[in-house]
């Protein structure tokens, strides 16, 4: 019987993102979720972890991002915690959707993609830690 949740501590380096992805996908495998749900979970992991690694900590620091994954009846819930600088996703404005390539900023679309695939995203800052909770619907 699958356990009720997965807990991982992801070291603050880019190479750790793939290990975290593989561990989460292995954990979720027994539920036989759709390819679309798997893609969405991978997208959330990628965008949140890469963003935290880029901005949360001083360069070269040996920090971790704590990740918890739970399967609910109609969603996969991902929770991320870190000791890094405060980062409230709601403080980041939605990028514009330009109609001309010359007007398009190449970057900055990570949060936007997470918002498209998540049915809920909640941020809290407490005890000096960022807490981010993201639900991806499985139905």
Partner 1 sequence: MEIVAAELLGQVTCVRLQGRLDAAGADAIGTRFTAAIVSAGRNAVVDLSGVSFVASMGLRLLISTARGLQLKGATLALFGAPPLVQEVFEQAALDQIIPIAATEQQALARLAS
| Kind and range of the H or E run holding 133 | strand 129-137
Residues between 8 and 47 with contacts to partner 1, criterion CB under 8 A: 14-15, 17-18, 35-36, 39, 42-43, 46-47
Contact between 59 and partner 1 by CB under 8 A: the answer reads: no
Contact between 110 and partner 1 by CB under 8 A: the answer reads: yes
Residue from 22, 26, 50, 122 binding partner 1 (CB under 8 A): 50
Q: How many CA atoms lie less than 13 Å away from 39 in the CB half-sphere? A: 6
Contact between 99 and partner 1 by CB under 8 A: the answer reads: yes
Residue from 65, 71, 117, 118 binding partner 1 (CB under 8 A): 117
> Rounded to an integer, what distance in angstroms lies between the CA atom of residue 19 and that of residue 37?
19
80 three-class SS = strand
Determine how many CB atoms are found less than 10 A away from the CB of residue 17.
Answer: 19
Q: Select from 129, 1, 9, 130 the least CA-distant residue to 69.
A: 9
User: Of the listed pieces 1-9, 55-63, 71-79, 94-102, which binds partner 1 according to CB under 8 A?
Assistant: 94-102
> Rounded to an integer, what distance in angstroms lies between the CA atom of residue 119 and that of residue 44?
12
Which string of x and - marks every residue 60-79 that binds partner 1 (by CB under 8 A)?
A: --------------------
Q: How far apart are the first and last CA of the chain?
A: 21
> Rounded to an integer, what distance in angstroms lies between the CA atom of residue 106 and that of residue 58?
24
Contact between 139 and partner 1 by CB under 8 A: the answer reads: no
120 or 124, CB closer to partner 1? 120
Query: Residues interacting with partner 1, by CB under 8 A?
Result: 14-15, 17-18, 35-36, 39, 42-43, 46-47, 50, 97-102, 104-110, 112-113, 116-117
């Amino acid at each position: 019987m699958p356990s009720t949740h997965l807990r991982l501590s992801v070291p603050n380096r880019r190479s750790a993102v793939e290990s975290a992805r593989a561990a989460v996908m292995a954990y979720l495998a027994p539920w036989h979720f759709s390819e679309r749900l798997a893609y969405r979970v991978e997208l959330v992991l990628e965008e949140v972890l890469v963003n935290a690694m880029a901005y949360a900590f001083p360069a070269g620091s040996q920090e971790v991002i704590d990740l918890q994954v739970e399967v609910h009846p109609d969603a996969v819930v991902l929770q991320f915690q870190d000791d890094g600088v405060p980062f409230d996703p709601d403080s980041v404005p939605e990028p514009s959707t330009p109609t001309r390539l010359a007007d398009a900023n190449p970057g900055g679309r990570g949060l936007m993609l997470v918002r498209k695939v998540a049915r809920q995203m909640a941020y809290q800052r407490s005890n000096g830690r960022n807490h981010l909770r993201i639900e991806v619907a499985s139905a």
